[in-house]
Every structure is written in C-alpha cells, then in structure tokens.
Amino acid sequence: MDSSNASGRTGNSANEHYRKFGSTDMRLSPLGLGCWQFSRGKGMVGGFWGAVDDAVVREIVALCLQGGINWFDTAEVYGGGESEKALSAALNAAGSLADEAYVATKWWPVMRTAGSIPATIDKRLESLSGRRIDLYQVHQPFSFSSVSSEMKEMAKLAEQGKIRHIGVSNFSAKQMSDADKTLRQYGLRLASNQVKYSMLDRSIERNGILEAAKELDIAIIAYSPLAQGILTGKFHQNPALISNLSGMRKRMGGISPKKLEITRPLINKLTELAAKYEATPARIALNWTINAHGETVFAIPGASRASQAEENVKAMTFRLTDSELAELSEMADRVAQK
C-alpha cells in the first residue's frame, strides 16, 4: 500500500483531488465516467445495455461535471459512434460547465489494420461534434497489424494535432511496454492502459501490468470497477434482480447465487465501512479502487441513471485509511481464493 494519507480525511470538493494522468500534462479526477451505457442500445456491443434517454444522458453528464468529474471515456464500438454523439451533445448542452472537460475515445482494431486509424479519425471527430480528443486508445490488442504499426499511426495523429495523448486498452504488460517504446521514438509516451480491475478482479496485480505501469509512469484506467454491480450489494439484498440481467451481462460479471454467497463477507465489510463514512458499499468499493495503489489507478464507473452519477461523485469526497484499504485488499484476496 503506497498511499500517503492514513487519516481518512473528508474533502470539500473533488477538484482538490485531481491527479496527474500518467506522464501527461493532464490533471484528471480519480473517477471519470464510462459512457458505454450511452450506446442507445445499438449494435452488438451497444446492445449490452438498454437505451438511455438523451435527457437522462444530459442530466448524468451535468451531475458529473458539477461534482468534479472532468473526463469521459467512450469508444467507436459503443453503438457505432452513438455513445460519442450522445456524450458530445450532453457536453455541449452543459455549456461553460464543460469547457474544461476531457474526452477519451477508442479505435476498434478487430478485423482491421493500422491504416484504419487515420482513415477513421475524422469520423470520430465528427461523432464528437468536433470536440477535442484528449486521449485516443487502441481498444483491444487484436488486429491485423502490430502494436508498433498502430503506435506509429497514432503518433502521426498526435503530430497533426488531431489527438492529444495516446493510450491502449486490454494490453498485456509486454504489449504496453512495446507501445511505449515505439512512441518514445517520436518523442511521445504511452499515457494509459485501460483494463478490467476491481476488488473482485485483481489480475493486473499478478500479471505484471500494474508493476509495469508504475515503472513507466503509465496510468491505469479501471473499467468494471464495481464488478458489473456485485460490489454495490444490491444483488445480495435482492437476489431476484439477477433474473433481470441479460445473459451476456450475467456471464461477463459472473453473477450467480453462488457468487453472491462467496462475496457476502466482503459486501458485509463494505456495508460496515459505508455506515462509518455515511456512504454506500459502492462508494467504498470505488474509493478502494482509486486509492489502493497511490495515484496510479483511475476508474470509469458508468451510469444509466442520475442517482448512479451522484454515487460516483460522492465516492471522491472521502478517503479510506491505509489500514482500511489493506483490510479490504486482504478480504478480497480471500474471496478470490474460494
């Protein structure tokens, strides 16, 4: 545990807690907003979630901005650009509140070559209504081209001023390091690696990704930080909610009655700490995610309702003590071994 504050202090504003994002000059809130849910229910990937009304999207984005979240993560494959369009519309509707907002999006590499990166960038900018792309990420490591070829094309976009910083997603430690090595040839650095990470999925702590990120000053962006909702405790309170989930979400989240029983002791601890901080289990879980490894890990919980956006914002208004972070880590380890 390399966090510096052991007092569990409460801050007045998320703005106090902006962090340097990897080796970049950006200072971002520890939590961003994941915008997969804004896919309008379109496409194979976008259909993972139900459609969210545009008015609700605007409300969610405004609440995030008001609460100190200053960056938003979307992707080409989220509804074939529909999430980008919904996000940009919401940011534009927020007016001056969104003047300092950062946008991250992703290029979809599957069944494509690196040549698709420059060929599709104008479409990304169009879907974002001309908003600046502060972080452009390769969504997956699977394509017809090498990591080096992809990074060379990304570097060209940065040189042209079409993107500011370059990231990857779901890359291994070696792939991440190789990407950074290529970018250094252009005087650039790899900014981030977006990976699945939560109290219930800590594989990056064992497979070298987190270690390499710290060594190279690369930010980790944790997606699915609430383990598809398991860490909110709502399924433990009402197991019948499992039947409302899509088959894909059940499989991806591993949500089952057995999983609920295995994780119940951890949820009970989250609930106990939630009472202490006048919070919720979800806020405690998110607070652990963004503080258990100093300032290396950022997280992008999503929101399909205004209440979920408010939950996310409030997770940044306090800090668990080092001893609480350590205890939760140990409990999560025991759960993972079952």
Active site residues: 78
Q: Which element (helix H / strand E) includes 98?
A: none
Question: How big is the CA angle at 54 (ends 30 and 60), to the nearest 5 degrees?
Answer: 25
Under DSSP, is residue 303 helix (H, G, I), strand (E, B) or coil?
coil
Q: Which of 30, 37, 18, 39 lies closest to 83 in space, CA to CA?
A: 39
Q: Distance (Å, rounded) from C-alpha 17 to C-alpha 28?
A: 8
Neighbours of 52 (CB within 10 A): 21
Structure tokens at 76: 């080409």
β strands within the chain, DSSP E: 19-20, 27-28, 33-34, 71-73, 102-107, 133-138, 163-169, 190-196, 219-223, 297-299
Angle, alpha carbons 177-179-21 (nearest 5°): 80
> Please, how many CA atoms are within 13 Å of residue 21, restricted to the half-sphere of its CB?
28
Q: What number of other Cβ atoms are within 10 A of residue 51's Cβ?
A: 18
**Which tokens sit at 29?**
């809130």
Q: Which of 309, 314, 315, 313 is nearest to 290 (CA)?
A: 315
Can you give the length of the chain in residues?
338
Tally Cβ neighbours within 10 Å of residue 326.
Answer: 14
DSSP, res 162: S
Contact status, residue 186 vs residue 150, Cβ threshold 8 Å: no
DSSP 1: -
Are the beta carbons of 39 and 82 closer than 8 angstroms?
Answer: yes
Residue with tokens 């140990």: 330
